[in-house]
């Protein structure tokens, strides 16, 4: 923004009348000036900080797309003499995007980063204008209601968003107007006649080559639709403003080339590069007011309304504080570290958005994480087809963490995933209740061993490594040790299990860095199975029983007679070693699960007495936490079950 500083100086020195951009710059860049709507400190400044915190450091910035507010649309239905308001809830697809973004933010926090998450609602445009009309509502109150529905959903999915942006907010309008002035001043906007096929549902123009004629099944009428989305398009011919998108083709291609992993998964990166290489047309960025009233007016021409996608995309920098005061460019988080979007809005985010940013001389987001769609009966879940699952009902039935687990675990990143209640039940029973829940109950609720004692024994990792090798045995472990007091190194089960556990955090981290939270979660699930299997083969309850008999001096029931002191000690060590590997598994999985299932992971870590300041990624190495092991439930009480039975299993 150095150029802006020079421009400021030039403006101040010149005696001429100011252009609108100049007066905006002056208002914006007065040293003490802080926009009223931005006075509030960003939430992350108020949050507890990590050691490396410094106000100047750029926070980690994650965004979701902003949701069309008509997904929470209310329709008036005349029912006899009453008017009933039907609220069409947002659908599971929207909840999925929210949860993915929340998981990515929480993962950054797990790494000790200060992170910001921005979500919100997209409230302008033809689609909203028409939806409000249909609902017999004025657009602003229509948006107010819709935004509330999404705010409620964000809260109910446990989203740790720091911002909830609404494009009808004054701060956002100011940003959009400012950007328009800048683009105009840079000669990147021009007026001309525009003809093309417009889809209100997609809020975009399609070229002739991307539409075709079909017979609409419900009405039998012939209609033109977009080949890509199947949404109806209408021919429009009007004068409006254009953005010189074509001028950015080479710079975009250069950017893609230099950042080949900018978009994940790689298949979508390829598609974007190919589409830009095929050519770019200039983009229509306004509509005449007589067609579209509900939006931000072009600040220099009140007969035109700014195109909703230009308006909407800028939300990401609005909340990062743009236009920023000199020296504060990074304080709000821009450039974003990850922008999360569904595969249907890739062109807007991976072609138009970087072009707008290049035009403004702003840095581009570091990563665009795209995901696939949820389908229902193999059809895309979409409110316009009515083929949707209400997330509020799903949350009510399965509870938050089970839904978070299911959506991330089964949800598609590269490929679409089909939604069915039966799949949720299956995952819940197999992975959570009978998998993790059972493991926790077996280890933490058992009375015949002492978790804390095992943790105390292995205060040194060296000792653990030694014992894992020395105490090997592939057989049932109630068997007494050999003559020399050690178990034979039969199949290195202990050592192998310890090594698998040691590799778990890095495996999960790698998947997260590759933007594949589904694989990351599956990797943890795999360890739940591995730990249950390990416990089954090592049967610590048998060792515990033997130790108990030894302690009672019950000679008759002891196989092979009483153990020597040395052998007794070996058996106790073996018991503690197995137990320690199990509780370390629970502790490490509990830490890693926090971004995915915050409540259940907290419950698990609490029940093991893991201190809240020992729950970051740094603490996922074996043996780093030496202080846990006393459950924080009152003595004599059982650790509560982690996952309750479902009301119905179908």
369 versus 477: smaller Cβ distance to ligand MSP: 369
Looking at 338-346, 476-484, 600-608, 616-624, which segment touches ligand MSP (CB under 6 A)? 338-346
71-79 long-range Cβ contacts below 8 angstroms, 24+ apart: 71/146, 71/149, 71/150, 71/383, 72/145, 72/146, 72/147, 72/148, 72/149, 72/150, 73/131, 73/135, 73/142, 73/146, 73/383, 74/135, 74/137, 74/142, 74/145, 74/146, 75/134, 75/135, 76/135, 76/136
Q: Phi and psi for 169 in degrees, rounded to 5?
A: -70, 145
- Shortest separation between residue 98's beta carbon and ligand MSP, angstroms: 9
Structure tokens given for 498: 């310890």
Query: If you write DSSP's letter for every residue of 561-585 in order, what string do you get?
Result: SPPPHHHHHHHHHHHHHHHHHHHHH
296 versus 589: smaller Cβ distance to ligand MSP: 296
Question: What is the rounded CA–CA span in Å between residue 507 and residue 555?
Answer: 48
- Chain residues 79-98 in contact with ligand MSP, contact rule CB under 6 A: 93-94, 96-97
| Residue of 342, 481, 540, 590 that binds ligand MSP (CB under 6 A) | 342
389 versus 494: smaller Cβ distance to ligand MSP: 389
Looking at 10-18, 60-68, 422-430, 517-525, which segment touches ligand MSP (CB under 6 A)? 60-68
66 versus 292: smaller Cβ distance to ligand MSP: 66
67 versus 458: smaller Cβ distance to ligand MSP: 67
Residues in Cβ contact with 352 at an 8 Å cutoff, skipping those fewer than 6 apart: 245, 283, 309, 310, 313
| Residue of 106, 114, 380, 409 that binds ligand MSP (CB under 6 A) | 380
- Chain residues 525-564 in contact with ligand MSP, contact rule CB under 6 A: none
| Residue of 11, 224, 289, 345 that binds ligand MSP (CB under 6 A) | 345
- Shortest separation between residue 380's beta carbon and ligand MSP, angstroms: 5
Q: How many other CB atoms are found less than 10 A from the CB of residue 322?
A: 20
163 versus 574: smaller Cβ distance to ligand MSP: 163
Would you give the DSSP letter of residue 349? I
122 versus 467: smaller Cβ distance to ligand MSP: 122
Q: Which helix (H) or strand (E) holds 368?
A: strand 368-371
Q: Which x/- pattern over 259-298 shows residues binding ligand MSP (rule: CB under 6 A)?
A: ----------------------------------------
Looking at 21-29, 67-75, 430-438, 581-589, which segment touches ligand MSP (CB under 6 A)? 67-75
- Shortest separation between residue 381's beta carbon and ligand MSP, angstroms: 4
Q: Parallel, antiparallel, or unpaired for β 297-298 and 301-306? A: antiparallel
Q: How many other CB atoms are found less than 10 A from the CB of residue 294?
A: 24
340 versus 439: smaller Cβ distance to ligand MSP: 340
Question: What is the rounded CA–CA span in Å between residue 302 and residue 299?
Answer: 7
Question: What is the rounded CA–CA span in Å between residue 155 and residue 160?
Answer: 8
Closest residue to ligand MSP: CB criterion: 342
Q: Parallel, antiparallel, or unpaired for β 60-63 and 115-122? A: parallel
Looking at 373-381, 426-434, 626-634, 635-643, which segment touches ligand MSP (CB under 6 A)? 373-381
Residues in Cβ contact with 571 at an 8 Å cutoff, skipping those fewer than 6 apart: 480, 481, 543, 546, 547, 550, 563
131 versus 312: smaller Cβ distance to ligand MSP: 312
| Residue of 312, 351, 439, 444 that binds ligand MSP (CB under 6 A) | 312
Q: Which helix (H) or strand (E) holds 407?
A: helix 400-410
Question: What is the rounded CA–CA span in Å between residue 346 and residue 344?
Answer: 6
Residues in Cβ contact with 414 at an 8 Å cutoff, skipping those fewer than 6 apart: 265, 267, 372
Tell me how many residues contact ligand MSP (CB under 6 A): 22
| Contact call for residue 407 and ligand MSP (CB under 6 A) | no
| Contact call for residue 131 and ligand MSP (CB under 6 A) | no
Q: Parallel, antiparallel, or unpaired for β 211-215 and 204-206? A: unpaired
- Shortest separation between residue 527's beta carbon and ligand MSP, angstroms: 28
| Contact call for residue 419 and ligand MSP (CB under 6 A) | no
- Shortest separation between residue 125's beta carbon and ligand MSP, angstroms: 9
| Contact call for residue 313 and ligand MSP (CB under 6 A) | yes
93 versus 505: smaller Cβ distance to ligand MSP: 93
| Contact call for residue 344 and ligand MSP (CB under 6 A) | yes
| Contact call for residue 114 and ligand MSP (CB under 6 A) | no
With 0-12 CB in 10 A as exposed, 13-18 as middle and 19+ as buried, what is 308? buried
Q: Minimal CA–CA distance to 67: which of 165, 200, 179?
A: 165
Question: What is the rounded CA–CA span in Å between residue 240 and residue 40?
Answer: 37
| Contact call for residue 374 and ligand MSP (CB under 6 A) | yes
Q: Minimal CA–CA distance to 192: which of 122, 261, 244, 151?
A: 244
Structure tokens given for 318: 């609005």
| Contact call for residue 71 and ligand MSP (CB under 6 A) | yes
- Shortest separation between residue 399's beta carbon and ligand MSP, angstroms: 21
* H helices present in 278-399, as ranges: 308-313, 315-318, 346-347, 353-359, 391-398
- Shortest separation between residue 506's beta carbon and ligand MSP, angstroms: 29
Looking at 49-57, 180-188, 208-216, 379-387, which segment touches ligand MSP (CB under 6 A)? 379-387
| Contact call for residue 341 and ligand MSP (CB under 6 A) | yes
Binding site for ligand MSP (CB under 6 A): 65-68, 71, 93-94, 96-97, 122, 312-313, 315, 341-342, 344-345, 373-374, 380-382
């Amino acid at each position: 923004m150095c150029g802006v500083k020079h421009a400021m100086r030039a403006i101040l020195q010149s005696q001429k009348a100011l252009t609108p951009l100049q007066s905006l710059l002056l208002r914006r860049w007065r040293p003490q000036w802080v926009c009223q709507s931005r006075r509030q400190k960003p939430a992350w400044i108020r949050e507890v900080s990590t050691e490396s915190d410094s106000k100047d450091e750029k926070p980690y910035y994650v965004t979701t797309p902003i949701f069309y507010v008509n997904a929470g649309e209310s329709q008036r239905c005349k029912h006899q003499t009453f008017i009933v308001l039907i609220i069409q809830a947002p659908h599971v697809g929207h909840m999925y995007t929210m949860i993915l973004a929340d998981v990515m933010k929480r993962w950054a926090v797990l790494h000790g980063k200060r992170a910001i998450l921005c979500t919100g609602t997209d409230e302008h445009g033809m689609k909203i204008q028409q939806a409000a009309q249909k609902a017999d509502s004025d657009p602003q109150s229509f948006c107010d209601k819709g935004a509330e529905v999404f705010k409620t959903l964000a809260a109910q999915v446990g989203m740790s968003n720091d911002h909830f942006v609404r494009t009808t907010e004054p701060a956002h309008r100011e940003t959009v107007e400012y950007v328009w002035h800048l683009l105009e001043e840079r000669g990147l906007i021009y007026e001309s006649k525009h003809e093309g096929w417009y889809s209100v549902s997609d809020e975009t123009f399609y070229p002739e080559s991307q539409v075709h004629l079909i017979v609409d099944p419900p009405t039998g009428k012939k209609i033109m639709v977009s080949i890509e989305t199947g949404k109806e398009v209408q021919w429009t011919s009007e004068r409006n403003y254009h953005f010189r998108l074509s001028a950015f083709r080479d710079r975009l291609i250069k950017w893609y080339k230099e950042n080949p992993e900018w978009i994940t998964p790689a298949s979508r990166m390829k598609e974007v590069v190919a589409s830009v290489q095929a050519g770019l047309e200039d983009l229509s960025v306004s509509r005449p007011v007589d067609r579209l009233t509900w939006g931000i007016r072009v600040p220099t021409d009140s007969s035109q309304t700014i195109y909703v996608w230009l308006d909407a995309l800028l939300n990401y920098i609005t909340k990062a504080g743009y236009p920023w005061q000199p020296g504060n460019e990074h304080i709000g988080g821009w450039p974003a570290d990850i922008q999360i979007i569904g595969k249907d809005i890739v062109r807007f985010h991976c072609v138009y958005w970087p072009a707008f940013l290049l035009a403004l001389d702003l840095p581009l987001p570091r990563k665009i994480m795209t995901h696939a769609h949820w389908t229902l009966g193999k059809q895309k879940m979409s409110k316009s087809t009515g083929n949707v699952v209400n997330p509020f009902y799903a949350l009510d039935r399965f509870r938050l963490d089970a839904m978070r687990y299911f959506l991330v675990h089964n949800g598609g990143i590269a490929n679409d995933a089909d939604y069915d209640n039966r799949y949720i039940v299956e995952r819940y029973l197999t992975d959570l209740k009978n998998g993790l829940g059972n493991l926790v109950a077996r280890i933490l609720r058992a009375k015949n061993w002492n978790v804390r004692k095992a943790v105390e024994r292995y205060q040194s990792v060296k000792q653990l490594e030694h014992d894992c090798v020395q105490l090997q045995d592939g057989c049932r472990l109630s068997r007494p040790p050999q003559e020399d007091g050690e178990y034979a190194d039969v199949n290195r089960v202990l050592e192998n299990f310890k090594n698998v556990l040691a590799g778990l955090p890095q495996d999960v981290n790698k998947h997260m860095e590759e933007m594949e939270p589904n694989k990351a979660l599956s990797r943890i699930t795999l360890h739940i199975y591995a730990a249950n299997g390990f416990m089954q083969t090592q049967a610590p309850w048998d060792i515990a029983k033997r130790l108990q008999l030894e302690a009672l001096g019950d000679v008759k029931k002891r196989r092979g007679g009483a153990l020597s002191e040395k052998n007794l000690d070996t058996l106790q060590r073996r018991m503690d070693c197995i137990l320690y590997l199990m509780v370390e598994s629970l502790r490490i999985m509990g830490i890693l699960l926090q971004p995915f299932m915050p409540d259940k992971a907290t419950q698990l870590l609490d029940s093991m007495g893991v201190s809240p300041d020992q729950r970051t990624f740094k603490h996922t190495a074996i043996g780093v936490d030496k202080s846990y092991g006393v459950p924080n439930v009152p003595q004599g009480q059982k650790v509560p079950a982690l996952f309750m039975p479902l009301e119905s299993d179908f």
